[in-house]
Structure 1
Amino acid sequence: MLETSARLLRLLSLLQTRPEWSGPELAERLDVSVRTVRRDVDKLRGLDYPVEVDLGPTGGYRLGAGAALPPLLLDDEEAVAVAVTLQTAAGSGGVGVAGLGETAVRALVKLERILPDRLRRRVAAVPVSTVAPIRALPSVDPKDLVAVGAACRDRRVLELDYTAFDGTETRRRVEPHHLVSWGRRWYLLAYDLGRDDWRTLRLDRTRPRVSPDGLATGPRFVPRDVPGGDPAAYVASKVADVRPFRCRARVLAGIDEVRRRIWTDQVRLTDLGDGTTRVQLSSDAASSAAFLLVAMELDLEVEEPPELTAALRSLGERCLRAANSSNPGVAPARG
């Protein structure tokens, strides 16, 4: 049987892993009586841990939200996973969330100070290197991310200001259903009550109107069924068509290989079943679409439009001139 102090830590750890435990379940896990569980819970509450008690026949227990963050107890695998994740977030600048990279560094420093040597060595054995993108993507205010996420969780109607791609600003009243991270951007999948339809809203263009404590004040709503049943798939299908130039090509490679090589979220991929993949791509211009396709280093056939063929030919001629420029004996191609 565990000593009292060790048992209290074990009890606190268990309460952090599930929304609720019954008294008999905790007693079995701790190898003590239900009466001892009640006494230990009273001791935790005496130490200002916000343990909520259900006085029903099973005596349910849950760890509530308190005024301060209680110690977070992690096992070895969880501690290593958190440390590696913080390394990644710190190096990537926060994956589209403003200020998250710096916050991750502070959290990582605190965690590494208390890690035992054996775990510190395991974290060091997983080196994480990141390269900042040449073009910085718009970032999301962490307060907005938390506010919208809370509205999704609480199923409360949310009022927000939204700036469209062309700069038009509108006021929206929506039922927020899901937050989706796609292509280094955050999107809100919501049902727009004013338009009576589903909308996919970029979170960096969204300013939620919430109370001073950051919570939505609208009425609760009953969740609707997301079209197709998969929020991530629905968002992906919508954001793949937001650029003005659209094209289609058949790539002579399997869909997994194409997915691994293509660097954009503005794309739809279709497995043609013969070892090839149809790529439907949207971009700002034909030239950028040509670059994205060529950068995969895979053979392809243009299906439409003719502007893509012209852009690929122009890109090829430019590359050939650059290659020939290092050899004075070869006349550069013109065109």
Structure 2
Amino acid sequence: MTTATPARLLQLLSLLQTPREWPGGELAERLGVSRRTVRRDIDRLRELGYPVEASKGADGGYRLVAGKAMPPLLLDDEEAVAIAVGLRAGAAHAVSGVEEASVRALAKLEQVLPARLRRRVATLQAAITPLPGEDGTSIAPQTLTALAGAVAGRERLRFAYRDKDGGESRRLTEPYRLMSAGRRWYLVAYDLDRAGWRTFRVDRLSEPFATGVRFAAREFPAGGAAEYLRRSIQGGPETYAFEVRFAAPAEEVAERVRAWLGTPVDDGGGGCVLRGDASGPAEWLAARLALTGYEFTVRAPEELTAAVRELGGRLSRAGGGAPQDGPAGPHGPGADVREGSPRPPRHGPEGRP
């Protein structure tokens, strides 16, 4: 009895993927086995989920037909290179309905391409001049595959970014989703340096580098990634950056601060610093900070300083006392901005068109 070796099964599968009917005798000759062995190998492929149809007759034939599920396919070198080049060419331009699937397929294919085929793909791609998008922008396919890989592997990602005003910066992020909208690609990620969620236009992003450091998923803003992207693109309430120092360890403060406000970081002096972004009235943030029950000092911006002082005055008057300025605490919030503290600029959502 001949055992169906993996190598012979792969060779048989490769033959059957050619769009034609193969007589049993020809398959046996190609594989160097008997017709009976071919029949057993066909049965084995069927057990693995490949829909192989057999025709009746003296020299019955076999062919691979469409099934209910998509089975794995075998590609020769030429086919793999052709598909990779096609996906690369199409990935730079969003095609309605298949954008994210195209990038996922490209990432999977390039992950397993041998080095010799990667070089061929790169050579062919260099000879292709794609038309730019309607706004004159284009995206390198390797950028999309790098981002998709970091998202899938939950790896921290570094990259250079140019904002809508032309300002350049380096970012360290936890990438959450790679999405397309309006023929543009966007990366939704948590910006570690700015301690907040951001939307980055991929055509303004360069030099992506997956650090290899994995991260645990964070609590995402209400509505999910699609709603967050929609708000970022259409423009939402003006946001402002803030910085506050608490007179308590970061671990304790984190228990009373909403995750989307930012992550407190110990400052080495027994306290911690909270940096983040907020939208809406500064009075709202002032109240949230006061409700932590810990003394805090506002470092920036001036609007938050004024809001905390106003809140402290109102609470003091409500309690029958005189307004007082000073570090905020559970019994009378105030604020103090250190001399020379920079004022973070106001800004809209990262990546607005």
| TM-score normalised over the length of structure 2 | 0.35
Question: RCO greater where, 1 or 2, for CA within 8 Å and sep 6 or more?
Answer: 2
Q: TM-score, normalised by structure 1?
A: 0.36
